[in-house]
Structure 1
Amino acid sequence: MNALDARSQILLKTLIERYIADGLPVGSRALSRFSGLDLSAATVRNVMSDLEEMGLIASPHTSAGRIPTARGYRFFVDSLLTVQPLENARVRALEGQFLPDQPQRLINSASHLLSELTQFAGIVVAPRKEAIRIRQFEFVSLAETRILLIIVTTAGDVQNRILVTRRGYSGAELSAAASYLNEHFAGLGFDEIRRRLGEELRQLRSDMTELMTATVDAGTEAAEENASSYVISGETNLLDFEDLSSNMSRLRELFKLFEQRTGLIQLLDLSNRADGVQIFIGDESGLAPLDGCSVITAPYEVDGRIVGSLGVIGPTRMAYDRVIPIVDITARLLSNALSSNH
């Protein structure tokens, strides 16, 4: 992108701030008035035309005003935004919400607090649990082609999964399959089981391949669910923003994304590898249902080690200068509370 001169930067910053505040397209007259620049309406219109050509602003429908694009918000956040840290008194008040407690309760508190302070959806990805290792597999025939898989982990947890197979298996076959798996794979995690089984299936009777593969697929799914979970609060706040609620099919996709978990967890996991606050605007998240949203995330720690991440999801038209410090301080307070609890 070409570098913007100072005048264009001031006008873009003014336009975005007005749009965030009012939610209405900003015209050249308003821009001239609020920017503090002594410019004619014609000059302002020319600059707006240049900004539109650069893809930073756009004209909605037939309105004479302009609104920011995702690219415009990105330039604003990276180059024009001044973030005000929270006042000490406010930080102390927030600290009172994070008294040492059980980790899960602290995580719930952080999610609620993010939602309450921003009026968006607040999300906290819980620390990943240790990868599950297998103590024992059992199969129980339920019907012709439906089998109950029972997985017992070395930690003593029990997971049940229904397998649907193309053909029925006799009690003797199920017993033989369980014995084979227990003998060869007890004590291993599913990644290792999948790798070894791939090599050994070629030497097994082919009619057992389907059952073994279905078992490993179901077990891997159970392991992934066990490894990551998140708490989300205030999703219904997003119904209050016309930018999102005016498109019902987009909104349905968004709520489906909240239920499915995997995509969001992967997105928030990215901030575990980042330093400090990360901002994903529109399609930068790589998740289609979030195209009209911004996601602001930050990692949190226990005793100096990053263990999870938290953030907020809201419309791209959000007060970034206000939301960024809220996400940042919540991550710090959660880190402190979990570390002193450890």
Structure 2
Amino acid sequence: MLDPRARILLNTLIERYIADGQPVGSRSLSKLSGLDLSPATIRNVMADLEEMGLIASPHTSAGRVPTARGYRLFVDALLTVDPRQSPQAEAILARLGQDLPALQPDTPHNVMAQAAGLLSSLSQFAGVVVATRQSPVFKHIEFLPIADKRILLIIVTPEGDVQNRLLLTEQPYSPAQLVEAANYLNQHFAGLPFEAIRDRLQGELMSLRQDMMQLMQAAVVVGSETLHRHQETVLIAGERNLLNVGELTANVESLRRLFDLFEQKAKLLQLLESGSNAQGVQIFIGGESDVVPVEQLSVITAPYEVDGQIVGTLGVIGPTRMAYERVIPIVDITAKLLTHALSDYADYSSLAGYPGAGHKSSPGQVG
């Protein structure tokens, strides 16, 4: 618990440090805080804040800088942000409203990639979107003849995504045979997981001709591999913007861990999904736990939904010394607009039960 003057001084110190990146001394705090306190009193309060682990004193300066614990208190208790009332909200809405237009039903991946780019350009940091996990089922299948023994397998998912894979067969198939096989699969197995289709085919294919059995078995194997491979996608834009952040580039080891995070998508996916069931914006600050692997890094995330179900997470990755009151509305409004854009797509009901259920909320929730 901090008394009012300690809260004001801590808030002033963090805002000043975010603004210019320089350690803040008692003289600057005396001028900026608006408190009628002597320099000695301010030094005593700063000593107390340092003892509490909220600020630290770099070896090269008499001023102080925020710690991870200080940033956490700042975003949880001292920072008041209503994204809808933010001064940036109108400009963000105008920009995103232009750049996230209604897309065709077969391009949901594009709108999510576009959202990642907008998060990056608006924040000037890295924008990240965990793309909607596709259901391991198909809505429609087609076979398209390519050459003598080459067939293009076209898989349409319930989310509207289209996946194309080449099948190499042991024998040629006529267009009529391909239509027959596709019609059989669509009529009997649309909406089922490929694993279930494989089991059912074992009992049903005995009544089919040998040529049809081989073609359908090949389609099931390739289709299952294709959809499982595309279940988790992390879209990243603007990671090179972080090279312009001095705190991240000054330390070679921190820079290495930062780009390891981007290259090892599993870690990044785990980080973004850790707050996917939260209502509203979540803030993760490096140095306070193992969730964020770089001490000078913060991650601001928000979930997006389709038909009331959380289907993914997006966010901004930047330095702990970021203007949180500016970035929070960017993340919040982008999540809401992405929710609106994706709601225009076809059947998403099969996404129920995917990431979003059963996760604990992390510290740092904002509105």
Shorter-chain TM range is 0.7 to 0.9
Q: C-alpha separation between the residues in 1 aligned to 2:242 and 2:314?
A: 18
Once the two structures are TM-superposed, the CA of residue 261 in structure 1 deviates from its matched residue by 0.4
Which residue, out of 272, 277, 294, partners 1:290?
Answer: 294
Once the two structures are TM-superposed, the CA of residue 252 in structure 1 deviates from its matched residue by 1.7
Q: C-alpha separation between the residues in 1 aligned to 2:230 and 2:310?
A: 19
- The reply on whether 1:258 has 2:265 as its aligned counterpart is no
In structure 2, what residue type is equivalent to 1:100? A
Which residue, out of 274, 280, 301, partners 1:276?
Answer: 280
Residue number in structure 2 paired with 1:123:
128
Are the aligned partners of 2:135 and 2:227 in contact in 1 as well (CA < 8 Å)? no
Which residue, out of 66, 69, 72, partners 2:67?
Answer: 69
Residue number in structure 2 paired with 1:307:
311
Residue number in structure 1 paired with 2:172:
none
Are the aligned partners of 1:298 and 1:311 in contact in 2 as well (CA < 8 Å)? yes
**Offset from partner CA, 1:232-285 (integer Å, 9 cap, x none):** 011011010111000122212211221110011111112221111110001356
**Offset from partner CA, 1:105-158 (integer Å, 9 cap, x none):** 11111101100011110000000122479xxxxxxxxxxxxxxxxxxx998976
Once the two structures are TM-superposed, the CA of residue 103 in structure 1 deviates from its matched residue by 1.1
Give the TM-score of the pair, scaled to structure 1: 0.72
Once the two structures are TM-superposed, the CA of residue 222 in structure 1 deviates from its matched residue by 8.5
Q: CA 1:285/1:339 → structure 2, altered by over 3 Å: closer, same or farther?
A: farther
Structure 1: gaps of 5 or more residues: 134-152, 160-185, 194-219
Are the aligned partners of 1:28 and 1:45 in contact in 2 as well (CA < 8 Å)? yes
Q: CA 1:63/1:111 → structure 2, altered by over 3 Å: closer, same or farther?
A: same
Q: C-alpha separation between the residues in 2 aligned to 1:284 and 1:70?
A: 6
Q: C-alpha separation between the residues in 1 aligned to 2:194 and 2:39?
A: 74
In structure 1, what residue type is equivalent to 2:98? G
Q: CA 1:121/1:90 → structure 2, altered by over 3 Å: closer, same or farther?
A: closer
Map 1:7-26; keep pairs closer than 5 Å: 7-26=5-24
What is the alpha-carbon root mean square deviation over aligned residues? 2.9
Which residue, out of 314, 327, 330, partners 1:326?
Answer: 330
Once the two structures are TM-superposed, the CA of residue 36 in structure 1 deviates from its matched residue by 0.3
Q: CA 1:276/1:285 → structure 2, altered by over 3 Å: closer, same or farther?
A: farther
Q: C-alpha separation between the residues in 2 aligned to 1:114 and 1:58?
A: 31
> 3-state SS of the aligned residue for 1:341?
coil
Residue number in structure 2 paired with 1:149:
none
Q: CA 1:30/1:105 → structure 2, altered by over 3 Å: closer, same or farther?
A: same
Are the aligned partners of 2:69 and 2:288 in contact in 1 as well (CA < 8 Å)? no
Are the aligned partners of 2:292 and 2:298 in contact in 1 as well (CA < 8 Å)? no
**Offset from partner CA, 1:69-102 (integer Å, 9 cap, x none):** 0000000000110225234354133211111112
In structure 2, what residue type is equivalent to 1:130? S
Structure 2: gaps of 5 or more residues: 139-154, 158-162, 167-192, 200-223, 347-367
Are the aligned partners of 1:127 and 1:228 in contact in 2 as well (CA < 8 Å)? yes
Q: C-alpha separation between the residues in 1 aligned to 2:327 and 2:43?
A: 31
Residue number in structure 2 paired with 1:207:
none
Q: C-alpha separation between the residues in 2 aligned to 1:248 and 1:90?
A: 34
Residue number in structure 1 paired with 2:171:
none
Q: CA 1:259/1:285 → structure 2, altered by over 3 Å: closer, same or farther?
A: farther
Q: CA 1:285/1:323 → structure 2, altered by over 3 Å: closer, same or farther?
A: farther
Q: C-alpha separation between the residues in 2 aligned to 1:238 and 1:106?
A: 24
In structure 1, what residue type is equivalent to 2:40? A
Q: C-alpha separation between the residues in 2 aligned to 1:304 and 1:154?
A: 23
Higher helix share: 1
